[in-house]
Structure 1
Amino acid sequence: MAQRFKGSNLFLTALLCLVSQGYAVGLGDMLERASQLSDKLHSLSTSLTNDLDTHFPPMGKILMPRPSMCHTASLQTPHDKDQALRVPESELLSLARALLLSWNDPLLLLASEAPTLSHPQNGAIYSKTRELQDQSNSLSSGLDRLIHKIGSSSKSLSPLPFQGGDLGSDKNSRLINFYFLLSCFRRDSHKIDNFLKLLRCRAAKQDRC
């Protein structure tokens, strides 16, 4: 799995290399690299969800909190593509960045809890959660450069605080809460990916985005 996703770091490395050598990196190229990173981030979260599904308590999804309980649920985001198309580029980028940075602490919690999960694939799950952190950090750096390129939004948004300190005491609660956090991240990573792909399309001035 590490082999599958390590290419994302190469995109960021190539971008930084071009900048350090004085080459002007176009907005389209930067958005292309960011879109590829966000796509891999969402794919990895989907792969992790599939791993957890293999040995999940039968009642787990019934007992799991509702999506409205995700700590990022209060962040107002476009409901569909038509709404997103009406959002200025800088504001859409600010939304993507705020969503991503809101996951710094939760991803740290997932990585610290993964090795002790009551799941036969907890080693692989741990490796993938660490990979999620690496992917997220790489994309965060890319979004900072995009904001510098496009300009800050007049509605610049701050990351949302995460209050969760642990996943619970018994093994089923910990597994359910781990799954819940991951499902929230998977949803948000899909939004980030869609926002960046839309920005890439608009930067290319395509008629149909």
Structure 2
Amino acid sequence: MIKKLKEAEEHTQVLQGGIDRISGRMLTDLDDFYPPWFGPIDAAVPLRESQMFAIYHLLHCFRRDSHKIDNYLKILRCRMIHANNC
């Protein structure tokens, strides 16, 4: 589970970088309004099965949503670079 959390953190950072690059082109006065990422939860605390399932479900939803964001950023970048000829 810790491996999946670390993968989610890395993917979040990649998406954050893409959003920052695109927003830098579109809005020059955009402030950093993203909530801070405090890293994965403390793995030393034993989790019950229901808590582990809830975390697994949350990671599944996050992965699905992050893929949607990634696709949106690719389309937006293509439209910006190729003038809507994607």
User: TM-score, normalization: structure 1?
Assistant: 0.29
RMSD: 3.1
Pair 1:195–1:137, CA change in 2 (3 A): same
Q: After the TM superposition, which residues 174-189 of structure 1 pair with which residues of structure 2 at under 5 Å, given as runs?
A: 174-189=51-66
* Bigger mean CA deviation after superposition, 136-145 or 184-193: 136-145
2:27 is the counterpart of 1:151: yes
* Count of aligned residue pairs for this structure pair: 75
Q: After the TM superposition, which residues 63-102 of structure 1 pair with which residues of structure 2 at under 5 Å, given as runs?
A: none
Q: Which has the higher contact order (CA 8 A, sep 6+)?
A: 2
Moved beyond 4 Å, runs of 4+: none
Deviation at 1:134, TM superposition (A): 2.4
Deviation at 1:130, TM superposition (A): 1.1
What letter matches 1:128 in structure 2? K
**Which of the two has higher C-alpha Rg?**
1
What letter matches 1:171 in structure 2? R
Pair 1:170–1:142, CA change in 2 (3 A): closer
Aligned to 2:83: 205
- Aligned-residue sequence identity (percent) comes to 38
Deviation at 1:191, TM superposition (A): 1.9
Aligned to 1:22: none
Distance in 1 between the 2:78 and 2:34 partners?
A: 26
